[in-house]
Amino acid sequence: MALRLRKNDIVQVISGEYKGKTGKILRVIPEKNRAIVEGINMIKRHTKPNPKNQQGGIMEKEASIALSNIMLVCPKTGKPTRIGVSILEGGKRVRFSKKAKELIE
């Protein structure tokens, strides 16, 4: 599966518990077809005190979400859109929004 979503893209969740929420991609995990999105799929992690976290306790952090459950938000319209890839004259590959026909980044 070709990955068309990248780090720092703004995405919207299209299915599941967080449906309709938007966030920024913090990390993409291509070998598992998953991504970590800011503020989405929060889990609680019980941690022991350690040098990084002196007090320990219950920490909240983002868990990964399947790439099939998120969709890029079009920078022009602000709505979820599919992504296309085209090749420019110089041979450079660029992504574009299929809804607004506008280049992304």
Sorting pLDDT into bands at 50, 70 and 90, what band is 75? confident
Which 3 state secondary structure label does DSSP give 98?
coil
Sorting pLDDT into bands at 50, 70 and 90, what band is 2? low
In this prediction, what percent of the chain has a pLDDT beyond 90? 76
Q: What 8-state DSSP symbol labels residue 94?
A: E
- Write the pLDDT tens digit of every residue in 7-62: 999 999 999 999 999 999 999 999 999 999 999 999 999 999 999 888 999 999 99
Q: Specify whether the CB–CB gap between 80 and 74 falls below 8 A.
A: yes
Query: What is d(CA 8, CA 37) in angstroms, rounded to the nearest whole number?
Result: 9
* CATH class as words, domain 10-74: mainly beta
Nearest CA among 84, 87, 81, 85 for reference residue 99: 81
- Residue whose pair of structure tokens reads 């450079």 in the numeric block: 92
CA atoms within 13 A on the CB side of 66: 8
Return the pLDDT at 3: 77
Spans of all domains in the chain = 10-74
Q: What is the value of pTM for the model shown?
A: 0.85
